Structure 1
Amino acid sequence: MTTIHPVRSATPPGPDDDLAREDRAGGASPGGPGAGALPPGGELLTDLLAHTADDERPVTHVHHVPVRESRTLDWPAWTEPGLRERLAARGVRAPWQHQVAAAQLARQGRHVVVATGTASGKSLAYQLPALTRLAEDPRACVLYLAPTKALARDQLASVAALADPSVRPAAYDGDTPAEERDWVRRHSRWIVTNPDMLHRGILPAHQRWSSTLRRVAYVVIDECHAYRGVFGSHVGHVLRRLRRICRRYGAEPVFVLASATVADPAAAATRLVGEDVVAVTDDGSPRPGATFALWEPPLTERTGEHGAPLRRSAAADAAGLLADLVERGARTLAFVRSRRSAESVAEQARRILADRGRGDLVRRVDSYRGGYLPEERRELERALSAGDLLGVATTNALELGIDIAGLDAVVLAGYPGTLASLWQQAGRAGRAQRESLVVFVARDDPLDHYLAHHPRAVFGRPIEATVTDPANPYVLGPQLCCAAAELPLVPADLADFGGPVAEAQLDELVAAGRLRRRPTGWYWAGRGRPDVDIRGGGDQPVAIIEGGTGRLLGTVDGGAAHSTVHEGALYVHRGDTFVVDEFDVEDACAVVHPETPDWTTVARDVTDLAIVSIEQTRPLGTVTAHTGVVDVTNQVVAYQRRRLGTGEVLAEFPLDLPPRQLRTKAVWLALDSRAVQRAEVEDAALPGSLHAAEHAAIGILPLLATCDRWDLGGLSTALHPDTGTAAIFVYDGHPGGAGFAERGYAALRRWLQATRATVASCECESGCPSCVQSPKCGNGNDPLDKAGAVRVLDAVLDELAAADERGATEPDDGDEDDGPTTVAEVRAGAAEEDDLVF
């Protein structure tokens, strides 16, 4: 029987309990019918659970995020009077403490990052100095960068309401009509864009933009914590290129960054910008308080692959919660992990409401995700902001910054990959005077299962540090080519791009014929401009076209296309389902027809891995841990049709798709015959034991690194030709690596402790999606041996504990080491949440 744990005041709030709503005017925001009578979050949760049987209650823990009072300061004396009047007219009577601190630093010419909670008014921290400067200098301008178009348009509206008419704020992105782009370049003094457009549209054409670039006073980088991994590394170099071009035209802009609460924001922002950045982290905004529930759907009588028990899906429970909350008049966002889930959750919620006779509410539920056409996104954003929509199922496209005032509840269908994202999504809810409700619904996944039963891993753990690797040769090399194509590189430029690392990379580029070395510097040797995808995949998006009409339905990422829009795949768009008739790899196009089958599709693939070089080695007796460079070859070879609801395999069809090559970074464990013998695993059970441990380790690594399992890959084998031993590999799913595998190596003991605890404590008998089964396994989760995985992990942890006792300590990863130090302690504490704090 699962019960609601009482709220424990002794549980310390995490540094990211920043669920504040910006209290602009002190009034309630528009809501749905009955919104004014909604109870606070705790009572709303109790109401939702009122008709749930005691033995089916899914809530494993309830945490109360306390109220925080605001701390305000006087307006800085330099604030432009007209701006102060416009702010007062919007209800902003006095700035909060962190807004003034950040604004003062920016005014003084210091690069600054303000890292405070969701809806803590970070926008004012950069609007205050930037708009004042624009009022003082009629020629100055501001460049604003956002990671999503929704956030960019939201901030554009905010600036337009505050700025003097001479500022003429305007968007310059992929949705800007061609006829408007010249006007923006010539007349706007607050240009809203994104790193992609800066990389592809502005910097390569810097001569046309010279009058703007020489007048840039501030560069604003909003929601900068979104720039991580390979994408973040590319963005860091794009910003270095921007600084270099601005210097060429005589400008030295001040960078002002806004971020969710992350570990060491000053260091992360400094890596991103390439110059020293000061952090402001003391949040002075008010917080109305929130009830935060951890929710795990119960096991059902249904079985999936190989007879494994299945939980009720997180999507089903999220849809039920969304419908329940909408019926109570609560404005709600349900965050999901994929585009298909956004469509599915919204449709299920509408169906539930229709079955209850609430047709009046069906039209007030919709989905929002990437891949929609621009006009569809704009209409959904308008309807949500106006209160026309009560419930929206969304991907993380609505996570970042867009001001959706007056939300009462947030449902998170699955862990979003990082604590920073979890708190960012949770912080979308909250009204000025009323406690909100946040429900985290665990998916059938090792990490979600772990978090649902270890509350301190959510509420008592510091936010992750942002992981980037600007020295990644797959990032640095292309970015140096871009820089050289814009302006010849000279030795003085190299310090910005990594110094000796950049110089070595330039030698390789010259040898490859991509650059030419001349006495005056390095010159681009290619024709046209370098074609560099800063999103890291290197593959162009695949267009989804309806064959009967020729209508463009949307796009999917090129890197995911082989497994999602192969011939025969099921594709979902705004509640409508389509089946792929043809997938043209070369033309990046998938042709579909409408169909509503009672099955879904899952791709099957094969993977080979070869070790290229070893960078770090840690001997652990009969086990050796390594990091290094590996070559991964992956090929989607077939797909299965599975019955909706049960996951039963109905049929399997072969595919003829080309293999895909990936050179990346990996962490791996080599277990010699003595380690296998110590684990007491029979030869026949060894492949399944290693495979199960690999799956669980991939599922848990996002606990320690800013990634999710879809950023990672893995391989396990009873005998790898390059090691001569049994081996488990976990690798970054990005060319050149993204720093995730190296993070796992640095925190190896704590990573494997949590992995072992997750597998051993799962209530299933022989393995399920909550512990060792993987949704992305190309082998159909066969073979898997749950008990053998625990014994393999025990053998590795025994050697780690022995190495620690010998003084061969784990590499310092910069975090406090709160975990147990011996395997005996790990085993004793596997079911005790306070023993495993990260």
Structure 2
Amino acid sequence: MVPTDLLDVLLAGGRRADRATHVEHVPARAGTHADWPEWADRDLVSGYRALGVERPWRHQVEAADAAWAGHHTVIGTSTGSGKSLAFWLPALTSVRVDHARGTFDPGRIESVRSRGSVLYLCPTKALAADQLVGLEQLLAAAGTPDVKVATCDGDTPYEERRWVRDHADVVLTNPDFLHFALLPQHARWARLLRSLRYVVVDEGHAFRGVLGAHVALVLRRLRRLCAHYSGRPEGPTFVVASATSAEPARTTARLVGVDAGEVVAVTADTAPTGRRTFVLWEPAELPGTDAGVDDGFVTFTPGTTPEEWWVDAPEETEPRPRRSATAEAADLLADLTSAGARTLAFCRSRRGAESVALSAQRALAAVSPRLRDAVAAYRGGYLPEERRELEDAIRSGRLRALATTNALELGVDISGLDAVLVVGWPGTRMSIWQQAGRAGRAGADGLVAFVAREDPLDTYLVHHPEAIFDAPLEATVFDPGNPHVLAPHLCAAAAELPLREDDLDAFGPHAREVLVVLERRGALRRRPSGWFWTHPTSAAGLTDLRGSGGEPVRVVEDGTGRMLGTVDAAGADGSVHTGAVYVHQGTSYVVRELDLEDKVALVGRKDVDYGTWSHDITTIAVHDGARERTWTAGGRSVRWGLGDVDVTTQVVSYTKRRLPGLEIVSNHDLNLPPRTLPTTAVWWTAPADVLEAAGVTAELAPGALHAAEHASIGLLPLLATCDRWDLGGVSTAMHVDTGEATVFVYDAYPGGAGFAERGFELGATWLRATRESIADCPCQAGCPACVQSPKCGSQNNPLEKEAAVRLLDAVLACAPGGHVMR
């Protein structure tokens, strides 16, 4: 189908035309070929040709040439542009060349030792498995059984790991396995580390924030061990494949630990693309509701099902003027599937993916029972065999559509799709273009629709298309010098090999001062020859690369012992507490017990007519040594701060709400332990004279500050490389550490991720955008499009929209350059 036909399906012949706020036509682009490089292995070239690649694209050859010449290389081109060929051609050619040298005199032991190897790293096991399939196809087509390829991760049995260590030329894994297994046991992997020619880092843009900082330090540890075993200080050549982003060479240099001048960036995409029709979509207003009228109920569109609405709470615990994005996306997905389109619907949460899939299935069942089975959900937390089966089904056409989390954003090769629905802003322009790139791959035309949630940022974007289509892409933000991240990696490095003075430059300018602290606390012991780890426990266990708070919680069916999936440790208290409803592929379960010690949630199968939403309380304490600045104008002052804080959160209760009306059925207390997060926060204060100037009384202050906090969290992702789920916030009419009314926004990762610092740097710009998003919203008393938050632990209460606008006007009046109040 062509995009114009699919657009007509979305618009329902004009009946839904008012929901499309903007239609952008991205023109097709012709491809530019280049000749195969002279150095490329002839058998590999024959293999690619047998698979249909008669000639490579020019950007593939440019990147491959740079890598073959020994330059660290980043290839930052769009989804489906063939980045894999650009790194596999030089990497596999190097292995083949070394094999040829080895077979010249196969009886000599030094020939065996000269065999080169390749390490491939990616964010997910699914992507490594997908690359393995592609590599095996290529090597079979090339007739090169001498190249041995294998995946190796936490699921790999011991005997298979031993074979990989002893024989594999190409090892596909992830940074977690590198951190927890390969580097701590480096002596066992000496053959690989000694012979490593290339390290491929796929989907490099995914390594941002705290995860990016961790991975950057893991790669520094890897380079150090490679130099130790090979005797070559320069180590292997790194090739990073990334989505298009700002400053790719600088980002890659920071990730790998080299100077930016040592990195070649290839960003001119020469692969062909079909025409894409990109629609910005705002769900319909609900009949019979007025924004801001607190009647305690939600009016639902006739014919909708409970599952369509279940996911979006707690943002739906207050009256909503518009239909939920999940309900809207389910309708669109059903219509596209019925029309014959192959579609992915990217959802913002696991529960959202389940909800969209189930609602679409119900709608399709009314059309044809056969169509009901053409749609399924796909998300993290599924067992590996379930994910592989779903991936195979969408590739083969047995499934026409998947409602998925961003688990399918990263590289898994699913081609031939007609349409993509992006349900809620994915956090960055990089991500939305990465997801959009799934539509119309391999030069075919495609349709993309961004379906806005009722969220300040989503609402802003569907009415300001220039913020998507004309604004530059973000740079990937991470800080390897973050002491909370750096300290455990210095311990891990010292456990691998004693840290010497010469090693410190690789770990950045803060390494020495962090080592002093670690030595003082007894974590490391200083000797004339360096710093040593002297504890019997593994130093790698000190840190969790994903910032998930530890080992995931297994969800197990009580009675059968069947494992349904997993939940991140950090989210377990709020999602699989005792009494919580858990949904898996459309089937509902109720949690009977959450065992935090054994990391198990026991669930029982049960059909229910209600959903559950947890509530938490959060407090924040500021450490000494914060950076501060002051805005002063008209005799009034506002203080800004940036520094280390401790955020303590405790899930204290949950509410059962009947579906679909969300009427409260019952409230239940929970007895779960508090959890403390050491992180970085930005904050601003509103002294009494500023509150008075804004006309914000003591009664209104908590609601005004709370509303400003929610809206500012929603707008910071427009300025920083994050989404609102990377952030948290606290507001109070009197904070003990600042002595004044204060709004805090913090990074939701241990040690911070650089997002709060970005807010501190762009404070005036950030607050002006926040003020405008609230003031421009047509609701009367506040709604999810402006000041309500989908993750508020206090059920979005209290909130004072008009008082928040006046407060922000008064704060911005103190800003440099002033502020014109409207």
1:814 corresponds in structure 2 to: none
CA distance in 2 between counterparts of 1:679 and 1:479 reads 48
Which is worse superposed, 701-710 or 136-145?
A: 701-710
2:111 corresponds in structure 1 to: none
CA distance in 2 between counterparts of 1:601 and 1:496 reads 48
Aligned-partner SS, 1:467: coil
Does residue 510 (structure 1) correspond to residue 510 (structure 2)? The answer is: no
Aligned-partner SS, 1:219: strand
Where do residues 133-532 of structure 1 align in structure 2 (5 Å cutoff)? 133-138=94-99, 139-163=115-139, 164-250=144-230, 251=232, 252-276=235-259, 277-300=263-286, 301=288, 303=297, 308-356=319-367, 358-432=368-442, 434-499=444-509, 501-530=510-539, 531=541, 532=543
Offset of 1:57 from its aligned partner? 2.6
Aligned-partner SS, 1:379: helix
The C-alpha deviation readout for 1:68-102, integer Å capped at 9, x for no partner, is 11122222111111111111111212221211111
Mark the CA change 1:761 to 1:297 in structure 2 (over 3 Å): closer, same or farther. Answer: same
The C-alpha deviation readout for 1:35-91, integer Å capped at 9, x for no partner, is xxx2x213311233134536x731111111111111222221111111111111112
The C-alpha deviation readout for 1:582-632, integer Å capped at 9, x for no partner, is 111222111111112111111111111111134322211121211111111
Offset of 1:644 from its aligned partner? 2.4
TM-score, with structure 2 as normaliser: 0.91
Give aligned pairs, total.
Answer: 766
Offset of 1:225 from its aligned partner? 0.5
Q: Given the alignment, which residue of 680, 697, 712 partners 1:665? A: 680
1:24 corresponds in structure 2 to: none
CA distance in 1 between counterparts of 2:148 and 2:318 reads 62
Offset of 1:307 from its aligned partner? 5.4
CA distance in 1 between counterparts of 2:94 and 2:686 reads 62
Does residue 689 (structure 1) correspond to residue 704 (structure 2)? The answer is: yes
Which is worse superposed, 154-163 or 295-304?
A: 295-304
Which is worse superposed, 213-222 or 45-54?
A: 45-54
> Which amino acid letter does the alignment assign opposite residue 155 of structure 1?
Q
CA distance in 1 between counterparts of 2:23 and 2:353 reads 26
Aligned-partner SS, 1:562: helix
> Which amino acid letter does the alignment assign opposite residue 681 of structure 1?
V
The C-alpha deviation readout for 1:358-412, integer Å capped at 9, x for no partner, is 1111112111111111111111111111111101011111101111110000001
2:12 corresponds in structure 1 to: 50
CA distance in 2 between counterparts of 1:747 and 1:129 reads 43
Aligned-partner SS, 2:805: helix
CA distance in 2 between counterparts of 1:646 and 1:373 reads 33
Mark the CA change 1:270 to 1:432 in structure 2 (over 3 Å): closer, same or farther. Answer: closer
Q: Output the aligned Cα RMSD.
A: 1.5
The C-alpha deviation readout for 1:311-355, integer Å capped at 9, x for no partner, is 211111111111111111111001101111111111111100001
Q: Given the alignment, which residue of 748, 758, 768 partners 1:733? A: 748
Offset of 1:263 from its aligned partner? 1.2
1:3 corresponds in structure 2 to: none
CA contact (8 A) 1:160 1:168 kept: no
Offset of 1:234 from its aligned partner? 0.6
CA contact (8 A) 2:273 2:444 kept: no
1:571 corresponds in structure 2 to: 582
CA distance in 2 between counterparts of 1:594 and 1:310 reads 34
1:130 corresponds in structure 2 to: 91
CA distance in 2 between counterparts of 1:645 and 1:704 reads 36
Which is worse superposed, 236-245 or 92-101?
A: 92-101
Offset of 1:466 from its aligned partner? 1.0
Aligned-partner SS, 2:657: strand
Offset of 1:270 from its aligned partner? 0.9
Offset of 1:262 from its aligned partner? 1.1
TM-score, with structure 1 as normaliser: 0.89
> Which amino acid letter does the alignment assign opposite residue 150 of structure 1?
A
Does residue 93 (structure 1) correspond to residue 54 (structure 2)? The answer is: yes
Offset of 1:573 from its aligned partner? 1.2
> Which amino acid letter does the alignment assign opposite residue 225 of structure 2?
I
Aligned-partner SS, 1:702: helix
CA distance in 2 between counterparts of 1:316 and 1:391 reads 16
CA distance in 2 between counterparts of 1:262 and 1:434 reads 23
CA distance in 1 between counterparts of 2:472 and 2:77 reads 14
> Which amino acid letter does the alignment assign opposite residue 506 of structure 2?
D
CA distance in 2 between counterparts of 1:257 and 1:193 reads 15
CA distance in 2 between counterparts of 1:636 and 1:307 reads 20
Q: Given the alignment, which residue of 536, 541, 549 partners 2:552? A: 541
Which is worse superposed, 446-455 or 237-246?
A: 446-455
Offset of 1:120 from its aligned partner? 0.9
Which is worse superposed, 373-382 or 528-537?
A: 528-537
The C-alpha deviation readout for 1:234-286, integer Å capped at 9, x for no partner, is 11110001000100111511000000011111111111110132211111111
CA distance in 2 between counterparts of 1:793 and 1:646 reads 35
Offset of 1:726 from its aligned partner? 1.2
Does residue 587 (structure 1) correspond to residue 598 (structure 2)? The answer is: yes
> Which amino acid letter does the alignment assign opposite residue 628 of structure 2?
T
Offset of 1:750 from its aligned partner? 2.1
CA distance in 1 between counterparts of 2:497 and 2:369 reads 61
Aligned-partner SS, 2:450: strand
Aligned-partner SS, 2:200: strand
CA distance in 1 between counterparts of 2:41 and 2:703 reads 68
Aligned-partner SS, 1:150: helix
CA distance in 1 between counterparts of 2:523 and 2:651 reads 32
Aligned-partner SS, 2:249: helix
CA contact (8 A) 2:283 2:322 kept: yes
CA distance in 2 between counterparts of 1:472 and 1:86 reads 45
CA contact (8 A) 2:726 2:747 kept: yes
CA contact (8 A) 1:67 1:286 kept: yes
Aligned-partner SS, 1:204: coil
2:105 corresponds in structure 1 to: none
CA distance in 1 between counterparts of 2:449 and 2:589 reads 32
Q: Percent identity?
A: 55
Offset of 1:431 from its aligned partner? 4.4
Where do residues 103-122 of structure 1 align in structure 2 (5 Å cutoff)? 103-122=64-83
Q: Which runs of no fewer than 5 residues in structure 1 stay unpaired?
A: 1-37, 806-821, 828-838
> Which amino acid letter does the alignment assign opposite residue 528 of structure 2?
P
2:301 corresponds in structure 1 to: none
CA distance in 1 between counterparts of 2:149 and 2:161 reads 13
Offset of 1:552 from its aligned partner? 1.1
CA contact (8 A) 1:698 1:713 kept: yes
Aligned-partner SS, 1:199: helix
CA distance in 1 between counterparts of 2:673 and 2:219 reads 35
Q: Which runs of no fewer than 5 residues in structure 2 stay unpaired?
A: 100-114, 290-296, 299-315
CA distance in 2 between counterparts of 1:306 and 1:393 reads 24
Offset of 1:555 from its aligned partner? 0.7
The C-alpha deviation readout for 1:607-660, integer Å capped at 9, x for no partner, is 111111343222111212111111111111111112223333322111111111
CA distance in 2 between counterparts of 1:123 and 1:111 reads 16
CA distance in 2 between counterparts of 1:765 and 1:648 reads 23
Mark the CA change 1:496 to 1:368 in structure 2 (over 3 Å): closer, same or farther. Answer: same
CA distance in 1 between counterparts of 2:22 and 2:660 reads 28
CA distance in 1 between counterparts of 2:680 and 2:622 reads 10
Which is worse superposed, 648-657 or 175-184?
A: 175-184
Where do residues 811-822 of structure 1 align in structure 2 (5 Å cutoff)? 822=819
CA contact (8 A) 1:309 1:764 kept: no
CA contact (8 A) 1:221 1:255 kept: yes
Mark the CA change 1:393 to 1:306 in structure 2 (over 3 Å): closer, same or farther. Answer: closer
> Which amino acid letter does the alignment assign opposite residue 501 of structure 2?
P
2:777 corresponds in structure 1 to: 762
Mark the CA change 1:135 to 1:472 in structure 2 (over 3 Å): closer, same or farther. Answer: same
> Which amino acid letter does the alignment assign opposite residue 576 of structure 1?
T
